[in-house]
Each structure stands twice: as C-alpha cells, then as structure tokens.
Structure 1
C-alpha cells in the first residue's frame, strides 16, 4: 500500500445480521494483504468487581456495556503505527479475560460490532462505513443458534434477553445509525454483488499512488 495511513473499515448491524460473516469474507478475499480485524465484542467492560448475577443482568446491547474509550485509544494507536494488546472476552464468565492478543499495525483495519456508528469519535475514525441490513426474524434465529450452540445459553434465556434488551436496543441505538453508512449491504454475506464491489474498491485504494 502506498498510502501511509491505514484504511479503517467499520462493519455494523444488529446482532445476527451477518456483519461478522461480511468482515471475514472481506478479510479472506484480501488474503495476502496487510490486514487485522478488531471485534467490538472484545471491548466489553471489565466486570471483575461484579458477581455473576450482576454480570448476567447487564444490558449487553447498550452502548454503556462497551469500553469504547479503550477501543478508540487502541484504534488510534494502530493508525499511528503502534502495536496494541487487544482485550479478549469470556462469554461464559460474562467478563473480560486476563489474556490479551497482540495486534500489529496493518494497511487495512476491519472493525466490526453492533454499535460502531453510535459514538461520534469512533465513527469519525472509520474511512468506510458498512451497515449490514438483515430482517429482524432472521437476526433472531441466528442469534438463537449462536448463543445456544456456541455460548451455552438456554433457549429461554436467549428469548428473554432478546425481548428485554436486544430488540429494543437495536431500534433505539443501532438501526438509527444506518444513516451514517457509506454502504448499506442487505442480506449480509449472501450479498456477493455487494461484497464484490467492496473488494474492488479496497483493491483500488491499496494500489493507489
């Protein structure tokens, strides 16, 4: 890449929209390029001072659930050419893990998460903003499958959390940020035409003088 500043791509959408699939598709298509990925989920707050019941009661679909200041700080460090120690999150413990992942600077930085466009300072760091737009029913089914199969949750707990927090938070905090998107991508990873266009644009940027 001839540009000195990395290209920052933000991929957002509701839980289960397919934003992680889209991010991974872009990442895989540009294999061989200098790229890193930052999941916003890694930046959930450290809740070591809370007992398990209090952790479970947290609204994880609200902006306050994230350590956005740390995400902004580390993203700025990567932009500035510094290596970071990215946090990790343990879903079984509802808490940040003690382990970190070393992330070196790269030409392309993909940031993906449900609330990337909500914070103006974070939003302004994103060069390309992609909103993955998927029907509510599809998102709920995907969330159910993920949380039961990968995170050990019960069906009842997933339904209760979706109705109590995930659905209302989506309509309050996530869907309204669609207006900030440069690209609205319906159907997520299944939208091959849209992803082809994103890939082509990134290759133009990477090969720019």
Structure 2
C-alpha cells in the first residue's frame, strides 16, 4: 500500500466543515475516504432518551477518539475498518457499521479533531474552518430544526449551555495547531479550489 495522506478539517459547529469535505468528496469521488468524528460519539445504550438528550456533546469526553485513532492507524496500514453509525435523532449509536477502505487520501472531519494531540499527529495537513459565531449559530438553528427534528428552544438551550462554552474552551484554542485557516467555510471557493489542486498533486504522486 502506498503512503496514505491524512487531512484533518476542524472548526466550530456549523462552520462549514461538512460543506467543504462533501464538495471534495463529490469532486474526487472514490479516490478519497471521509471519516467524521461525529460517527464516533460514545454509545449510551443503557441510558434513557431523556438523559441522552441532556448530555454535553461538545466536550472531548463525549467522543470515542481512541477508536477513531485505532481505525485511522489500521487504514494507514492498509486495513479495512468498520466505523460506527451515529443517529442525531435518537442521540445514540445504531447497531450498524459502515466499512471504510484505505485510500490514498483520507479526510478526517470534526469539531475537536485538532484538540487531541495523538489524533492530530496522524495528520499530514491540518485545516481549521473559521466562521463568525453569529453565522454559525444561524446555520445551526436552520440545520438542527430541518435535519435533526429539533425545536428552536432546544437548539438555543444547547447552544448556550454547551456549544458556546465548549467552543471557547476547546475548539477555538485548537486553531493554533492548524496549518491552514479557511475563513467563511464552504462559501470560500478560492480556498476550496486551492485544496482541490493540492489534493490532485497528492493523488498523482
């Protein structure tokens, strides 16, 4: 197996990370593999829904990052892994898994992927998507109501209690580890085109 190139894409909730990585996936198709840190939220099968609803999903301890690191090391070693599947509507992992295959380029995406030293040390290029807090909040309200069945009250309560303080405590400080900072998220077509050209070079090596 040729050397695998790992790119990390971090940034606050609703900053535009997913827009960027999905655009890259659409462009490069099966030449690259995507891994979302969100898929690695810890399972809480023994906890009732009402309690799962109140958990802090923006703290590093809410993720099984050790499993993500293990899976990434296996992929870099040429092995197929089976990543978890997480459901936002039930706030829990489902029983299914999805196979991930070792590709020449692997993109890891998530709010806290640069916070963990062991994880970021596996990355060849680290990107932070930097979007204004008000813009992120508006996007989050629209996304969570439309895609995740949340009410505006629940979105605002979660934002005030955990999303904003965790962003300030863990996510924003991790920006210092980034090699590249992309302002305005997925709207920044210039940055996106530069990324594509860079990945073309990597894939053609």
Specify the TM-score bucket, using the shorter chain as the normaliser. over 0.9
Q: 2:126 aligns with which of 105, 124, 129?
A: 129
Specify the alignment match of 2:9 in structure 1: 11
Whole-Å separation in 1 of the counterparts to 2:143 and 2:108 = 20
Specify the alignment match of 1:179 in structure 2: 176
SS of 1:199 mapped into structure 2: helix
Whole-Å separation in 2 of the counterparts to 1:10 and 1:108 = 11
| 1:139 to 2:136 alignment | yes
Specify the alignment match of 2:113 in structure 1: 116
Query: Deviation of residue 30 (structure 1)?
Result: 2.1
Q: What is the TM-score normalised by the length of structure 1?
A: 0.95
Q: 2:186 aligns with which of 174, 180, 189?
A: 189
Whole-Å separation in 2 of the counterparts to 1:150 and 1:206 = 33
| 1:86 to 2:65 alignment | no
Specify the alignment match of 1:67 in structure 2: 64
SS of 1:114 mapped into structure 2: coil
Superposition map of 1:36-75 within 5 A: 36-75=33-72
Query: Deviation of residue 53 (structure 1)?
Result: 2.0
| Gapped regions of structure 1 (runs ≥ 5) | none
| 1:107 to 2:72 alignment | no
Q: What is the TM-score normalised by the length of structure 2?
A: 0.97
Query: Deviation of residue 115 (structure 1)?
Result: 0.3
Provide, for residues 90-118 of structure 1, a one-character-per-residue CA deviation record: whole Å limited to 9, x for no partner: 11211100011011111111111000001
Whole-Å separation in 2 of the counterparts to 1:18 and 1:193 = 14
Aligned residues: 205
Provide, for residues 9-58 of structure 1, a one-character-per-residue CA deviation record: whole Å limited to 9, x for no partner: 11010000000001111222223x52111111100001012112221111
Q: 1:76 aligns with which of 57, 60, 73?
A: 73
SS of 1:30 mapped into structure 2: helix
